[in-house]
Structure 1
Amino acid sequence: MDLDLRKLRYFVAVADRLHFGRAADELHIAQPALSRQIRALEQDLGASLFTRNRHGVTLTDAGRQLLTDAGPLLASAHAVQRRVTVAARGSRRLVVGFRTGIPVIPAMQAFEARHPDVVVDVQRMEWDDQAAMLLDGRVDVGYVRLPIDEAGLRVTPLFAEPLMVVLPAGHRLAGKDEVTEADLTGEPLVWHADPSTRPTRRPYPDSGLRVRGVEETLEHVAAGRGISFVARSETVFHSRPDISYVPIPELAHDQVCFAMAASRTSPLADDFFTAALATAEITAECGVNDPSAAFLDGR
């Protein structure tokens, strides 16, 4: 039995929303048609994927397993479509993903010296879409920050950099040479939705705010709604008078890695990986000392 990707996309839509009506609206199909497709998928797999009762819709154990496996599978299929389209156009192009504060210029220059005919484009990634963008082909290779879901990826460490605590400009600790975690006891924390991405396990009070990128983080910190942590290179590109960055040496350093899809078989991607490894030290230095070297951060 071949797994029907269209049915799988329909399943993911329902599983994400746990509501057939809302999923049908999102997919622009009629709800009865969606229900028939889900039943057909259940018959194909020989397993019930949803429990439906008067309380609503929930996933069965089989449904939860399929949802876990569906993401990488659909992303891989989408990446195949993108790569075939690029190949059909006959263009030689490489898209490099990067996180805020990580310059790609050193590796680009080394790569372009060997491949002057290849167009290198860039795309900024946030913490929650790093893996997805690599798996679905939106970027071919990427500079990522840990933690990242490494399923389906090849991830190689490049360098590490210290973390800084971000404080409102009027904070009692703003302007200090350094602080400890003990100094921050009781401070509300502005952080990502996933607590596992925090650089510390110390129990900071939750501010109730959820942020996606550095810009959102700084807005909330400047407004006095909490503190946060960022890599040192990120502070270079986000200097502003209403916040203060202070070193916090006892925290583990932020790890920067190079990543690509494990299924990726591209000499160009491999050559850029080689360039990234060769220029890792230069990249780390540029990220801290030379904002002009990372002009791509604004894209």
Structure 2
Amino acid sequence: MDVDLRKLRYFVAVADELHFGRAADRLHIAQPVLSRQIRALEDELRVALFDRDRRGTALTPAGRQLLIEARPLLTSAEALTRRVRAAADGGITFTIGFMPGITLTTVVQAMRAEHSDLTTRLLRTGWDDQVEVLHDGRADVSIVRLPIDQTGLEIHHLFTEPRVAVVAADHPLADRDSVSIADLADEHLLQDPDAVPEWREVAVEIRTGSRPAIPAIHSVEEKLELVADGTGIAVLPASTAGFYTRRGVVALAVDDLGPNLVALACPTGRRTPLVDDVIEVARALLPE
């Protein structure tokens, strides 16, 4: 049996919303059409994917399993489409993702000098999508900041760099030459605690279960705005903090905070001579 990718996309939308009306609006189709497509998918798979009653819509065990399987399948299909369209454009296009604070000018120049027919593009990523751009085909390789979910990826370590705590200029710690993780234990961290496991181990708000909701943050600039207005603190690689210098915030050395590990990641099974070349060049030239 062949699974229809369109039906899978419809299924994921309903699974995300757990509401057929909202999912139909998101997909820009009529709700009856969506319901028929989901029923057709259930008939093809010979399982019930959703429990529907007056209380709402919920995934069945089969639905939960399909959701786990469907996301990477749809992502792979999207990546395939991007690569085929890129090939149709002619020439060789190679896209490198990179996290804030990492400068790739010399790497790009070296790749262009070595491959005269190569079109090299850069794609700025963030904490939330630095892995996603590899799985969905937007980037061929990406310079990532660990830790990340390494499933389906090859990881090639490049270098390490110190991390700093960024606080508001009027913060009680702002005039210190350096601080410790314990000094930050009762602060509100404006990022995923998994990104700073050292802080997570001592944080008061984690221990007490009183962690405030993290506002939606889409860039380093937004994060620094929230730091400056006293909403919380952030832990950043030193190069990122240096690149995004601004008034109203202070970067502090943290004595017992481990370094940030920077690596080149590429999808498993997509290692090519061109990928080997960029790994070699990145190891030779980074950090700039």
How far does residue 265 in structure 1 lie from its aligned partner after superposition?
5.0
- The correspondence of residues 1-299 of structure 1 with structure 2, limited to 5 A, is 1-192=1-192, 195-200=193-198, 201=200, 202-205=202-205, 206-210=211-215, 211-279=217-285, 283-284=286-287, 286=288
How far does residue 213 in structure 1 lie from its aligned partner after superposition?
2.5
Across the aligned residues of Structure 1 and Structure 2, the Cα RMSD in angstroms comes to: 1.7
The residue matched to 1:271 in structure 2 has which SS? helix
How far does residue 255 in structure 1 lie from its aligned partner after superposition?
1.4
The residue matched to 1:259 in structure 2 has which SS? strand
Distance 2:212 2:239 in 1: 25
How far does residue 243 in structure 1 lie from its aligned partner after superposition?
0.3
Distance 1:249 1:97 in 2: 31
How far does residue 274 in structure 1 lie from its aligned partner after superposition?
2.7
How far does residue 204 in structure 1 lie from its aligned partner after superposition?
4.2
CA contact (8 A) 2:156 2:279 kept: no
Identity %: 48
How many residues end up aligned between the 2 structures?
280
The residue matched to 2:241 in structure 1 has which SS? helix
The two structures have a TM-score, normalised by structure 1, of 0.88
The residue matched to 1:160 in structure 2 has which SS? strand
Distance 1:29 1:78 in 2: 21
Distance 2:78 2:228 in 1: 40
Which residue matches 1:295?
none
Find runs of 4+ consecutive structure 1 residues off by over 4 angstroms. none
The residue matched to 1:225 in structure 2 has which SS? coil
Read off the aligned partner of 1:229 and give its amino acid letter.
V
CA contact (8 A) 1:164 1:246 kept: yes
CA contact (8 A) 1:189 1:207 kept: no
CA contact (8 A) 1:19 1:56 kept: yes
Unaligned runs of 5+ in 2: 206-210
Read off the aligned partner of 2:117 and give its amino acid letter.
D
Read off the aligned partner of 1:49 and give its amino acid letter.
L
Distance 2:4 2:90 in 1: 30
The residue matched to 1:121 in structure 2 has which SS? strand
Range that drifts further, 31-40 or 256-265: 256-265
The two structures have a TM-score, normalised by structure 2, of 0.91
Deviations 1:156-207 (A, max 9, x none): 2211211100110011211322100122232222224xx4333432224334
Give the direction of change, closer, same or farther, for the CA distance of 1:237–1:204 in structure 2 (3 Å limit).
Answer: farther
How far does residue 244 in structure 1 lie from its aligned partner after superposition?
0.3
CA contact (8 A) 1:158 1:256 kept: yes
Distance 1:265 1:156 in 2: 12
